[in-house]
């Protein structure tokens, strides 16, 4: 259950209407506790491997030092996931079969639309805990655009207005400004826009039991308006 609580649980179901509304939906089949797709593949802790890391390791980051690298070593609450170091081969398998495969497909898809349509809009969908240590309250929605560097401010503003119109409390870039995905792909000058959306889990699920709550259908239905707005943005600037 500690591993389950690290997941972006049910996000694929919340956004399942995307294909019907004119967009394309790409979702992960593996949970964050196995491979974190929103981390650079070089964000690795060498101490996790008994025979050395599978890839070149980048400079230490606070995330890696906290056990939350591309291959996490702690679950929700800080519990250690592994009783012993994993092998280099296991680490490489996860990076190649999950992280590389996912990002290769995502990159080629964005490049295709930017070239063929004139614009690509990536909405990177996540969930966040309803409570974080040191914060009195969490907003309902956090929009992350890397402080304006990963997408047009028009897209961020459009999404914010759509959520606020539905009655949600929205924050920008705090406490989540966007991770590896928005940083890697957001190139608004090349007409590739990347916006991260974090949804408060307390709105739609029982966080302790990791199951949908009574609010699930409401959030799922409300997201249709936001999805339509984002698709409209892409249509407006397509060549």
Domains and CATH numbers, the chain: 4-237 (3.40.630.40)
Predicted pLDDT at 146: 98
Q: Which of 133, 118, 30 is nearest to 76 (CA)?
A: 133
- Look over the chain and give the mean of its residue pLDDT values, rounded to a whole number: 96
Q: Residue 100, exposed/middle/buried by CB under 10 A (0-12, 13-18, 19+)?
A: middle
Mean pLDDT over 158-183 rounds to 97
Digit-coded pLDDT (tens) for 37-56: 999 999 999 999 999 999 99
Q: What is residue 136's predicted lDDT score, i.e. its pLDDT?
A: 82
Q: Given this model, what pLDDT does residue 76 score?
A: 84
pLDDT tens string 177-207: 999 999 999 999 999 999 999 999 999 999 9
The closest alpha carbon to 159, from 191, 202, 124, belongs to 124
Q: What is the mean pLDDT of residues 197-222?
A: 97
């Amino acid at each position: 259950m500690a591993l389950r609580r690290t997941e972006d649980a049910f996000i694929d179901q919340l956004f399942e209407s995307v294909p019907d509304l004119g967009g394309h939906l790409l979702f992960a089949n593996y949970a964050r506790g196995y491979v974190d797709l929103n981390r650079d593949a070089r964000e690795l802790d060498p101490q996790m491997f008994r025979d050395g890391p599978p890839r070149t390791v980048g400079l230490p980051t606070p995330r890696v030092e906290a056990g939350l690298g591309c291959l996490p070593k702690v679950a929700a609450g800080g519990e250690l996931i592994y009783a012993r170091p994993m092998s280099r081969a296991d680490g490489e398998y996860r990076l190649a079969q999950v992280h590389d495969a996912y990002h290769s497909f995502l990159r080629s898809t964005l490049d295709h639309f930017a070239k063929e349509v004139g614009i690509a809009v990536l909405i990177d969908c996540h969930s966040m805990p309803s409570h974080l240590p040191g914060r009195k309250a969490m907003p309902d929605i956090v929009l992350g655009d890397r402080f304006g560097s990963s997408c047009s401010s028009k897209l961020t503003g459009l999404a914010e207005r759509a959520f606020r119109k539905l009655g949600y409390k929205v924050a920008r870039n705090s406490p989540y400004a966007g991770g590896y995905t928005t940083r890697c792909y957001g190139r608004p000058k090349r007409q590739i826009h990347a916006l991260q959306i974090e949804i408060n889990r307390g709105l739609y699920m029982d966080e302790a039991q990791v199951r949908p709550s009574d609010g699930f259908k409401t959030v799922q239905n409300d997201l249709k308006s936001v999805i339509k707005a984002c698709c409209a943005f892409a249509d407006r600037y397509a060549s």
